[in-house]
């Protein structure tokens, strides 16, 4: 599996199955290397990935992320191998511990210590028997990693990390923890809007759910943000730091900051006003269109 420099991160639950497959085909045609899809309260991510893989021919489909509390490690290992064998090695497994409200409150599971729980899960995956035809090459796994301990685990037991809602400074810090041969696949939220008030209003709407999730807030604290930044839906400083808004040039510049900081792959989340991916932006950023992308 060769993960190219630029991909797309998109919440596709707002699409029908037919619309999602058509979207994936458009992303593939635009030349993006990967399409990342989440798992929260919509589609189950492995079955969703199978559908997208079956409807594309070269695009990597990645889970961003598969919740470890949604299935045991035996099942995750089998699904990862099966999807890679079926697709010719085009499924990249992103695993994460999710968040207390989505695990304890919604799923009614006990939320364990994140690093300890993930370590045990990875060991269980590695030891799970698999009697079907295996994929041609060992499949790759990246971890949803924000803090230094989860990044260290990403370097130790996985193929890399998939940070979300972070900054180029976090990318720089993550690269110092990960070995040079480990993947660093960074999500970047982007808004194609040059009016500051409108862009930040959309940014606050987008970040509102994440401001209620301690894993993100704690990471922002580590990056130097304070309680003042979290009040009122997020300060301008927080919005401008975590998200990028403006014209194509401004958005390309932020992507390049991540690359310069050590990212191997940036998956752009094109935030649109209707909750669906902004395909205007994805068209502008399409690989091969210029600007070094």
Please report the domains of the chain, with CATH numbers, ordered by start residue. 6-285 (3.20.20.30)
pLDDT(291) > 90? no
Q: What is the pLDDT of residues 29-70, one digit of tens each?
A: 999 999 999 998 899 999 999 999 999 999 999 999 999 999
**Contact in structure between 67 and 39 (CB atoms under 8 Å):** yes
- Tokens at residue 154, please? 């990403």
Confidence (pTM): 0.95
- pLDDT above 70 covers what percent of the chain? 98
Phi then psi for 82, rounded to 5 degrees? -65, -45
Is it true that the peptide bond before 65 is cis, omega within 30 degrees of 0?
yes
- Tokens at residue 42, please? 């919509």
pLDDT(161) > 70? yes
- Tokens at residue 167, please? 């900054």
- The lowest-confidence range among 39-43, 99-103, 149-153, 260-264 is 99-103
**Contact in structure between 178 and 159 (CB atoms under 8 Å):** no
Place of tokens 């021919």: 57
Q: What is the pLDDT of residues 246-264, one digit of tens each?
A: 999 999 999 999 999 999 9
Model confidence band, residue 290 (pLDDT cutoffs 50, 70, 90):
low
Other C-beta atoms lying within 10 Å of the C-beta of residue 237:
13
């Amino acid at each position: 599996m060769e993960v190219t420099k630029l991909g797309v991160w998109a919440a596709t639950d707002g699409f029908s199955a037919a619309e999602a497959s058509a979207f994936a085909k458009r992303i593939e045609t635009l030349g993006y290397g990967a399409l990342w899809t989440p798992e929260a309260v919509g589609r189950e991510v492995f079955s969703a990935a199978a559908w997208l893989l079956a409807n594309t021919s070269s695009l990597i489909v990645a889970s961003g992320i598969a919740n470890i509390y949604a299935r045991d490690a035996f099942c995750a290992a089998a699904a990862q191998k099966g999807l890679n064998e079926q697709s010719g090695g085009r499924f990249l497994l992103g695993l994460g511990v999710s968040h207390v409200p989505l695990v304890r409150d919604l799923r009614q599971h006990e939320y364990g210590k994140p690093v300890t729980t993930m370590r045990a899960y990875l060991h269980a995956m590695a030891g799970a028997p698999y009697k079907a035809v295996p994929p041609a090459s060992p499949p790759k796994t990246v971890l949803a990693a924000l803090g230094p301990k989860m990044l260290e685990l990403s370097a130790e037991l996985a193929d890399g990390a998939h940070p979300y809602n972070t900054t180029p400074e976090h990318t720089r810090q993550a690269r110092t923890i990960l070995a040079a041969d480990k993947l660093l696949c960074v999500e970047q939220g982007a808004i194609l809007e040059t009016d500051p008030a409108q862009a930040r209003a959309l940014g606050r709407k987008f970040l509102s759910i994440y401001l209620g999730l301690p894993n993100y807030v704690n990471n922002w604290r580590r990056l130097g943000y304070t309680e003042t930044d979290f009040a009122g839906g997020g300060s301008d400083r927080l919005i401008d730091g975590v998200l990028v808004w403006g014209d194509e040039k401004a958005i390309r510049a932020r992507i390049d900051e991540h690359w310069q900081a050590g990212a191997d792959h940036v998956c752009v989340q094109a935030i649109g006003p209707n909750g669906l991916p902004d395909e205007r932006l994805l068209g502008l950023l399409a690989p091969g269109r210029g600007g070094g992308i």
